[in-house]
Structure 1
Amino acid sequence: MKRTEKKRKDIIDAAIEEFRAQGFLGAKTTSIAKRANVSSRTLYNHFESKEALFEAISEIMIERNGRMDPVPYDPDRDFVEQLKDALRQYVAVITEETALGLNRMVMSELIRDLDRSKKFFAETETHAYPITRLISEAMEAGVIRTADAGYATNQLLVLVKGFFFWPEFFLGETPTPASTLDDCVAMFMAHYTPDS
């Protein structure tokens, strides 16, 4: 890693700590620079403002949440099992400790600032969930009925996140039994299984 890249990473790491500790409004660029062990001038050479830092962190969070590669449909495997495997992997990615910390930090600011929230969610709309490919290709293969794959993915992930992400996000634990994932998939399949 080049020296400038390391300084940029140190600044971002320090900003995450500062935003977590002070919130966006209470965070100070001088404190971020001090945490990163750089001068304020160096910080501003990398990021023109506290807002630019927050946007960079938001982008990192989106990228981390999308770290899982798109999942292709395998016609030689049972689709339900493929879907469950993909969902387990997705839950592991979004509930990983660093990902949760970033989500908590970013979400607290999005709740406070509606304009920033709109901008953030417009950005997330440009990123497809990794499970969308699996669902889309299964639709093309006739395994599930044809619909808008992005919409269908959102329906399924709202169920899954409700049981596996939000309890972890708010409570720091997942009291939901692992078998609940089977119920989420069964509900999805009940709606999307093609008519005979």
Structure 2
Amino acid sequence: MKRTEKKRKDIIDAAIDEFREQGFLGATTTSIAKKANVSSRTLYNHFESKDALFEAISEIMIERNSSMEPVPYDPDRDFVEQLKDALWRYVEVITEKTAIGLNRMVMSELIRDLDRSRQFFNESETHDYPIKRLISEAMDAGELRKADPDFATNQLLVLVKGFFFWPEFFLGENATSKDVLNDCVAMFMAHYKRGK
């Protein structure tokens, strides 16, 4: 890693800590620079403002949540098993400790600032969920009835996140039985299985 890249990463890491501890309004670029062991001038060479830093962190969060590769449909495997495997990988990505920390930090600011929230969700809508490809290709193959794959994917992931992401996000723990994922998939299949 080049020295300038390391400084940029140090600034982002320090900003994440500062935003988490002080909130966006209470955080200062002076404190962020001090935590990153850089001068304020160096910080401003990388990020023109506290807002620019927050936007960079939000983008990192979106990218981390989208870090799982799109999942292709395999006609030689049972679709339900493919879907469960893909969902477990997705749950692992979104509940990883760093991802949860980033989500908490960003979401607290989005709740406070409606304009920033709109901007964030507009940006996140440009990123496809990795499960969408699997669902879309299964629809094309006739495994699932034809529908809007974006809408269908979102329906399924809202169910899954409700049981596996939000308890981790709010409580720092998740006592949800793994069998619940099977129920989420069963509900999805009851609605989208071909022949409905």
Question: TM-score under structure 1 normalisation?
Answer: 0.99
- Give 1:13's aligned amino acid: D
Q: In the alignment, which residue of structure 2 is the partner of 1:53?
A: 53
* Count of residue correspondences: 196
Q: In the alignment, is residue 123 of structure 1 matched against residue 123 of structure 2?
A: yes
Identity across matched positions, percent:
81
Separation of aligned partners in 2, 1:82 and 1:194: 17
Q: In the alignment, which residue of structure 2 is the partner of 1:102?
A: 102
- Give 2:8's aligned amino acid: R
Greater than 6 Å deviation, 4+ residue runs: none
Q: In the alignment, is residue 89 of structure 1 matched against residue 89 of structure 2?
A: yes
Separation of aligned partners in 2, 1:22 and 1:66: 27
Q: 1:26 Cα deviation (Å)?
A: 0.1
Q: In the alignment, which residue of structure 1 is the partner of 2:166?
A: 166
CA displacement 1:123-156 (0-9 Å, x = unmatched): 0100000000000000000000011101100000
Separation of aligned partners in 1, 2:84 and 2:76: 16
What are the residue-to-residue correspondences of 1:1-196 with 2, within 5 Å? 1-195=1-195
Separation of aligned partners in 2, 1:66 and 1:154: 14
Separation of aligned partners in 1, 2:191 and 2:173: 30
CA displacement 1:73-108 (0-9 Å, x = unmatched): 000000000000000000000000000000000000
- Give 1:42's aligned amino acid: T
- Which residues of structure 1 form unaligned runs of 5+? none
Secondary structure of the 2:48 match is coil
Separation of aligned partners in 1, 2:6 and 2:171: 33
Q: 1:194 Cα deviation (Å)?
A: 1.3
Separation of aligned partners in 2, 1:193 and 1:13: 45
Q: 1:122 Cα deviation (Å)?
A: 0.3
